[in-house]
Amino acid sequence: MFTDDTYMTGQKTDIRTLNLKELEQVVSGYNQPAFRAKQVFEWIWKKGINNFEGMTNIPDQLRKNLSEKFIFLTLDEINRAESTDGTIKLLFSLHDDKKTECVLIPSEDRVTACISSQTGCNLGCKFCSTAGIKKARDLSAGEIFEQFIASDNLSVAKFGRPLSNLVLMGMGEPLLNYENVMNAVEKIISPTGLNFSPQRITLSTAGITAGIRKLADDDVKFNLAISLHAANEKIRQGLMPVTNSNTIEDLKKAIIYFHKKTGTRVTYEYLMLKDINDSAVHASEFAEFCKITPCKINLIEYNPGDFDVFKSSAPETIIRFSEILKSKNLIVNIRKSRGKDISAACGQLANKC
């Protein structure tokens, strides 16, 4: 049974750290039939319930027994900010007073939730406001899952439709919290869980090569995005210290391995920084990098955060950069930032709401 103190309070353990087999053992200890464990499991992961009182088909005595030993370490929404473009940012307090954020992004034909995998981040990317918050801990699978539930409920209430897409692009590096992230995603996509299509999920990484290879070995069905931002080793090292232990050559090999194993076309996220990575030479270097496997490219305007050393490339520069890539038969999208006025855009999450 999972007993990590991170996911305990008092002498009670978060019930969402138990798998079905462990839950069956618990229920059996109360002299209850095995199907009761499946019912409890369904309440948690299929219906998104985060309390025992709501499990209406579970006998009162079993609910009482479970509540005496287990708890739901839930998220507490402590603030909400709404952008003029419709984007909504939620600030959550966790059971240990740590904080994390998620963002709801509506558009004409979809609603996307951007959720977090850690409280803060230790990767130290120079352009990212989250880098100013040292990682306190990984989020549990239950905390990651509950962000999805909270976002989905809000999407229905606010926009009249459930979530259409999910991106793991919030606070933290998902591949450095691999087990919990994968556990949460499995519950989201499983027919015994929320049955959400994996093709509508994208995990974004700064380029943790071992994690990318593990995703390939696990034959994931969701999409993979790589925060590249430069195909030049020196420039990328200056922007992203993670490159010191995950070189561009190693990253290339990991991406090739991932594509060979899964057949999935990766997406590259490329932040356009004035006079740093936005020249024609940089575009040609990037285009050469992109030859390794089929891919898509998102060019992203820089969103001001806690740093004043960067400026976004001019719109005409971004267009010119895009045209160079397109001339190499690459699929390119210039992504419009959403929620900048509430610090909810890419790279702006810093527990401020």
Pairing of strands 111-114, 99-106: antiparallel
**Which one of 101, 143, 146, 301 is the catalytic residue?**
101
Contact 26, 18 (CB under 8 A): yes
Nearest alpha carbon to residue 311 among 341, 279, 273: 273
**Which one of 114, 125, 128, 346 is the catalytic residue?**
346
Whether 346 sits among the annotated catalytic residues: the reply is yes
Whether 102 sits among the annotated catalytic residues: the reply is no
Q: Cα separation of 321 and 319, whole Å?
A: 5
Neighbours of 194 (CB within 10 A): 19
Number of H helices, E strands in the chain: 10, 15
Nearest alpha carbon to residue 293 among 258, 244, 328, 329: 258
Cβ contacts of residue 89 below 8 Å, gap of 6+?
80, 81, 83, 101, 102, 103, 104, 339, 342, 343, 344, 349, 353
Strand partners, 312: 273
**What would the two tokens of residue 269 be?**
């996220």
Using the Cα atoms of residue 123, residue 112, residue 263 and residue 319 in order, give the sign of their dihedral.
negative
Positions annotated as catalytic residues are 101, 346
